[in-house]
Amino acid sequence: MTRQSVAHRPQGMNECIDHCLRCHAVCLETISYCLAKGGKHADSHHIALLSTCEDICATSADAMLRGAAVHNVICGACAEVCRQCATACEEMTGDAEMKRCAEFCQRCADSCTVMAKH
Q: Are 16 and 114 in contact (CB under 8 A)?
A: yes
Q: Identify the CATH number of the domain defined by range 11-116.
A: 1.20.1270.360
Instruction: Write the CB contacts of 79 (distance below 8 Å, at least 6 apart in sequence).
Output: 108, 109, 110, 112, 113, 116
pTM for the model: 0.91
Q: Is 38 exposed, middle or buried (0-12, 13-18, 19+ CB in 10 A)?
A: exposed
Domains in the chain: boundaries = 11-116
pLDDT per residue, tens digit, the chain (118 aa), is: 344 455 678 899 999 999 999 999 999 999 999 999 999 999 999 999 999 999 999 999 999 999 999 999 999 999 999 999 999 999 999 999 999 999 999 999 999 999 999 7
